[in-house]
Structure 1
């Protein structure tokens, strides 16, 4: 995979899309300075806008309604910020909507996953720039009205091919809504009005997408979607970090914390959580042979767990799923487990999506891509999967701040009191959910009764003003709220994630963490480590990739003590300090067990191997093939608590630990101090050559002697320099 080309394209594409959409927005009188009224020459069906030329810019009929919807969206956002922030937010929203759809369609056409089998933004014919969809629009699976057919013929006749391309592209997106509704939502709104893509422009986004990234990169793996998304956000991430240099605002948390997890690290986490869980209960499983990154003891044997479990009972949750990379690999592993159990791939794909995989994220656009990635993975195992109308257990987290609390007791249906209480509870618990995300604790409620109430309401309709108020403000949101509540109130066999790294926190998130997770609040990632134990069944596994500071420094001592005393470390890989190129933090990856374990933890220490993640990957594989290498360790975590501060010092010798066990700490013998400190070196210190010897005293033996001498300067050693100190 050519990550350099992917990165260059994604960063460039974001700027290109935002600039073009902003320009188009300006043509209809909406800029970052404000919203202009149409010119006086406008009518109900036609609006004119002054663009500084002799002829004004014109929009008609449906476009006028789309412009009104665009203004409404900006005003909605402005209610919680200011106009300029709202305008830029909505422009960004439109840009990523079309970016997501472009890269999704490119992936589908290259892999021949489009239902129509007709390429949308490129051609099967080598060297042909006109997309096959534009050449033969009536050969696609899209249904056209007679009016639309005439319009297509007219555009082709007049050689207005880019206009035709945009019309067909939007039509294709709306057609794909039938098979991928959570990515290709109906676009008869303002996003359509501001679409500016062109296939004839050699410097346009379509041309660069088709020509800059090799087709084979789209066929290698669906993980290209995740890399495109991360690089698309890179400029914004850098901008956010540079703007705040400290705390990050609510809307910018996704941009500041989104990191795509390196492929081999994903495999390591999933192999040693999901894979290990299955093998411990099925010791004769052939799955072991397919787990390249499974870490086993030197004797190669895991402790057998006498528990029967079927593939359908395995549940796998990513509470910070991003673009779904971890879920996609878990899908492959689950498929191997189902095959071993005798299932056909088609049935397995359905069960994995319906019963095994779960995920949430605060970032709507990342959630869209995670949904797409998992659906494409399922499609790779079942060519008709997209037509089977199978629901998926992934969702963006919806917050309820702007949903008014409507008293449903006035609704004229026979409601149980618990339904009213449960609905109100769900509306309350998801307040600020876009900020708090999956850290929220959601108690199980009577979901089936709420669903029955929703179905009854849909059947009877609104019969009074209270019904209508409920319908307009809450009803349409309840399916999303119920879906995320079901996921977040559940317990899972495996929880595996790359949590956000952020220690400069503000707003409701800071209040929430300080109140509910004070002992673990050194960083957002440490809060997630602690919180995720509660998502996991007893003796289930949790996989993480995080900064490795939690292993050593005092800030995370409570977290270490909690893990050592109540849980256990199954395996851990500590990377070389600067190995992870995607973030400026030293990292580790590890798997924890949700319960104590007498077996020793398995550790790989890569600190001495400088180089990027490919070097780290190579050294991990070497350690797995040669357990006698000097950087593979087996260590019981009970030893860690024998060292003050309980550092995860897995590499220290038994003799080193005995020193702490049998010896006396310096702190019990004497008080250690910082030594002499001036408090203000610029004021109190001088070089020897700067001091007048008349005012200097070499012989003072204590403070009383110094004071008595009336001298101003006295000898003072400062690191490698000898300096004198003012009295």
Structure 2
């Protein structure tokens, strides 16, 4: 169906073919370990084809909604298949159809702009234009695109011209061309260009050429010191004379500068609608990193977050920006500044959060959303597709179902003012009023205790062992302080590495080489002399704690940890009074606790910073201790009933055998013990034959 031209499959063909063409270089670039993405590799690293239904959602809820807000009696909503349920606020100001501008500043092969063309045709037809006339006007007035990839630009140009020809068969012989531009590095400009320019124009052109010398790396995030009079600059460039032989390539320099000025004009313009699937990239080369740090410091974590902020600056009042991006910006601390800016200054009109692995083309979970350049803070429409597995086809189906039946249960209508009541302002649109109230009246976790992280050995294969891999005589199981560990003269000590999903108690699997107060780990360095290990919060080692695993792919679970262990960086922990620890253990292990953590951060990483935001409502504290202690005792007995526990004494089945028939359990040999016995046996064989 994607390739059926009778079902609008032309754009799908172009987009998918280009993505498949890019598959090998894309895989090569994104699998770079540790290195920055080179300038020449940015197109391959960031070029992802946007799924058709996501394009339609973004355009329907931005361009389509903008039109409906200004045209009270418009029948366009019958055509907008992916317009989410919600109120349409009508604006009294008059708009001119020819003045509505739609920009995609990372347009790829043009999928967004081609569908926007179809929507604009409907709008022109409403106003009585013929399809042929409308097609020319749309190319001339309404659609603008930018791209850093030359081949993608060519495909977008082709796709848009073919779309225009669908409505105007003479469009290819007309003088109308799409306003689609590709960034090119402007270098080697002939000095004869500057000699023919007035001094003031000369200075401005030189300044812009310097900036555009790196245009293919900066692309649409380029910033300018002032607003330039593009028409004046272009008129002066056009006047430059070119000799017939043009041995100094003045003609090529003129073309490069004209293209540069066209792009600057696009970047300086304000738009009613900006729709894009921005690049996802955070491995910056030095020059790009410096530029982003200078102009987008608060949003520098990833190129997509820079685009989110930058595109909002390109909107007219009440205009719409639509995106498809990784959904981490909604929750994690790295993007808190971006969330705070949006919640305080803009209106999240609608958002669709997709299932974690729905978009197979990207290695990150995705969402798509529309933001209005307004502070009205009306109720936004949010669709939660997290529970629906099966890829983008299933996500598409569920969106259409919720549009047809808003009562289906996964459409939420909420005010974004609620997000500010939750620490970190996560976009937790599904949080109930009661839970929001708990955040308001509760005490932050870090006001009671201080969640921390522990040791980073630098090489776990070198410094860690499972407890049964070393001699039990060389393990100190019950050290309660640094001094006690040092005086024990032991090499190995219990180590809390987090581990798999398990509540209340357990995951006592590892020991760490902490001989002589961790001397070998503390002195562990790279060959260049740089410190490799990191000993964090050593004053809290060997204390009584509650702890959880940093990676929570199996769900959140927190466990009690007896005094004696060193914590790993992957096992954040909390220390405090015994009663406080048990109470916090109970509330965080409850279904409500799990629900709150999914609001604070529904990704698989649950850092100590997220736990610090947990609201503690101290009600009926004393009544919970018997339940908590019972759960703790039961899970402790369960853990110790298996041979993998170092506190294992006998199989639970033996407790059902009469006392006089029981046999003492054999001593458990560790791997180390067995190796030693094997070595002794070999020595006897060698000695006695």
Q: What is the TM-score with the length of structure 1 in the denominator?
A: 0.65
- 1:175 matched residue in structure 2: none
Structure 1's 388 and 604: CA in aligned 2 closer, same or farther, altered over 3 A? same
Structure 1's 359 and 696: CA in aligned 2 closer, same or farther, altered over 3 A? closer
- Residue in structure 2 matching 1:720, options 507, 517, 524: 507
- Report the Cα distance in structure 2 between the residues aligned to 1:455 and 1:723, rounded to whole angstroms: 74
Alignment of 1:16-415 (within 5 A): 216=5, 220-242=9-31, 246-297=35-86, 301-404=87-190, 408=194, 410-411=195-196
- 2:604 matched residue in structure 1: none
Say if 2:397 is the partner of 1:651: no
- Report the Cα distance in structure 2 between the residues aligned to 1:581 and 1:289, rounded to whole angstroms: 31
- 1:636 matched residue in structure 2: 415
- Report the Cα distance in structure 1 between the residues aligned to 2:208 and 2:489, rounded to whole angstroms: 75
Say if 2:206 is the partner of 1:424: yes
Secondary structure, aligned partner of 1:399: coil
On the 8 A contact 2:466/2:509 being kept in 1, the answer is no
- Report the Cα distance in structure 2 between the residues aligned to 1:432 and 1:418, rounded to whole angstroms: 23
What is the CA-CA distance between 1:565 and the residue it aligns to?
Answer: 1.0
- 1:691 matched residue in structure 2: 471
Structure 1's 263 and 666: CA in aligned 2 closer, same or farther, altered over 3 A? same
Secondary structure, aligned partner of 2:88: coil
Alignment of 1:281-680 (within 5 A): 281-297=70-86, 301-404=87-190, 408=194, 410-411=195-196, 416-442=198-224, 443-458=226-241, 471=250, 474-674=253-453
What is the CA-CA distance between 1:508 and the residue it aligns to?
Answer: 2.0
Structure 1's 278 and 368: CA in aligned 2 closer, same or farther, altered over 3 A? same
- Report the Cα distance in structure 2 between the residues aligned to 1:619 and 1:700, rounded to whole angstroms: 55
| Residues 89-145 of structure 1, C-alpha deviations (whole Å, 9 max, x = no match) | xxxxxxxxxxxxxxxxxxxxxxxxxxxxxxxxxxxxxxxxxxxxxxxxxxxxxxxxx
Structure 1's 672 and 347: CA in aligned 2 closer, same or farther, altered over 3 A? same
Structure 1's 668 and 398: CA in aligned 2 closer, same or farther, altered over 3 A? same
What is the CA-CA distance between 1:533 and the residue it aligns to?
Answer: 1.3
Structure 1's 651 and 699: CA in aligned 2 closer, same or farther, altered over 3 A? closer
On the 8 A contact 1:604/1:631 being kept in 2, the answer is yes
Segments of 4+ moved more than 4 angstroms: 215-219, 404-407, 467-470, 675-682, 695-719, 722-727
- Report the Cα distance in structure 2 between the residues aligned to 1:454 and 1:690, rounded to whole angstroms: 78
- Report the Cα distance in structure 1 between the residues aligned to 2:465 and 2:213, rounded to whole angstroms: 56
Structure 1's 721 and 281: CA in aligned 2 closer, same or farther, altered over 3 A? same
Structure 1's 457 and 501: CA in aligned 2 closer, same or farther, altered over 3 A? same
On the 8 A contact 1:222/1:377 being kept in 2, the answer is no
What is the CA-CA distance between 1:420 and the residue it aligns to?
Answer: 2.5
Secondary structure, aligned partner of 2:407: coil
- Report the Cα distance in structure 1 between the residues aligned to 2:511 and 2:173, rounded to whole angstroms: 83
Secondary structure, aligned partner of 1:474: helix
- 1:31 matched residue in structure 2: none
What is the CA-CA distance between 1:617 and the residue it aligns to?
Answer: 0.4
- Report the Cα distance in structure 2 between the residues aligned to 1:581 and 1:713, rounded to whole angstroms: 44
- Report the Cα distance in structure 1 between the residues aligned to 2:18 and 2:470, rounded to whole angstroms: 59
Structure 1's 474 and 572: CA in aligned 2 closer, same or farther, altered over 3 A? same
Structure 1's 692 and 362: CA in aligned 2 closer, same or farther, altered over 3 A? closer
On the 8 A contact 2:132/2:167 being kept in 1, the answer is yes
Unaligned runs of 5+ in 1: 4-214
- 1:129 matched residue in structure 2: none
Structure 1's 420 and 581: CA in aligned 2 closer, same or farther, altered over 3 A? same
Structure 1's 508 and 394: CA in aligned 2 closer, same or farther, altered over 3 A? same
On the 8 A contact 2:2/2:9 being kept in 1, the answer is no
On the 8 A contact 2:107/2:156 being kept in 1, the answer is yes
What is the CA-CA distance between 1:370 and the residue it aligns to?
Answer: 0.6
- Report the Cα distance in structure 2 between the residues aligned to 1:510 and 1:405, rounded to whole angstroms: 31
What is the CA-CA distance between 1:495 and the residue it aligns to?
Answer: 0.4
- Report the Cα distance in structure 2 between the residues aligned to 1:504 and 1:668, rounded to whole angstroms: 36
Secondary structure, aligned partner of 1:628: helix
On the 8 A contact 1:296/1:302 being kept in 2, the answer is no
| Residues 665-705 of structure 1, C-alpha deviations (whole Å, 9 max, x = no match) | 11112222347888876536662684354x66677655555
On the 8 A contact 1:432/1:508 being kept in 2, the answer is no
Secondary structure, aligned partner of 2:274: strand
- Report the Cα distance in structure 1 between the residues aligned to 2:222 and 2:236, rounded to whole angstroms: 25
Structure 1's 542 and 405: CA in aligned 2 closer, same or farther, altered over 3 A? farther
Structure 1's 404 and 264: CA in aligned 2 closer, same or farther, altered over 3 A? same
Structure 1's 670 and 423: CA in aligned 2 closer, same or farther, altered over 3 A? same
On the 8 A contact 1:441/1:489 being kept in 2, the answer is no
Deviates more, 1:696-705 or 1:354-363: 696-705
Structure 1's 724 and 552: CA in aligned 2 closer, same or farther, altered over 3 A? closer
Secondary structure, aligned partner of 1:457: coil
- Report the Cα distance in structure 2 between the residues aligned to 1:427 and 1:232, rounded to whole angstroms: 32
Q: How many residue pairs get matched? A: 504
What is the CA-CA distance between 1:722 and the residue it aligns to?
Answer: 5.6
What is the CA-CA distance between 1:424 and the residue it aligns to?
Answer: 2.3
Secondary structure, aligned partner of 1:222: helix
On the 8 A contact 1:444/1:486 being kept in 2, the answer is no
On the 8 A contact 2:326/2:367 being kept in 1, the answer is yes
Structure 1's 468 and 664: CA in aligned 2 closer, same or farther, altered over 3 A? same
On the 8 A contact 2:384/2:411 being kept in 1, the answer is yes
Structure 1's 609 and 425: CA in aligned 2 closer, same or farther, altered over 3 A? same
| RMSD value, Cα | 2.8
What is the CA-CA distance between 1:645 and the residue it aligns to?
Answer: 1.3
Q: What is the TM-score with the length of structure 2 in the denominator?
A: 0.68
On the 8 A contact 1:419/1:446 being kept in 2, the answer is no
- Report the Cα distance in structure 1 between the residues aligned to 2:152 and 2:20, rounded to whole angstroms: 12
- Report the Cα distance in structure 2 between the residues aligned to 1:390 and 1:314, rounded to whole angstroms: 18
- 2:546 matched residue in structure 1: none
Deviates more, 1:233-242 or 1:427-436: 233-242
| Residues 163-195 of structure 1, C-alpha deviations (whole Å, 9 max, x = no match) | xxxxxxxxxxxxxxxxxxxxxxxxxxxxxxxxx
What is the CA-CA distance between 1:400 and the residue it aligns to?
Answer: 1.2
- Report the Cα distance in structure 1 between the residues aligned to 2:215 and 2:81, rounded to whole angstroms: 38
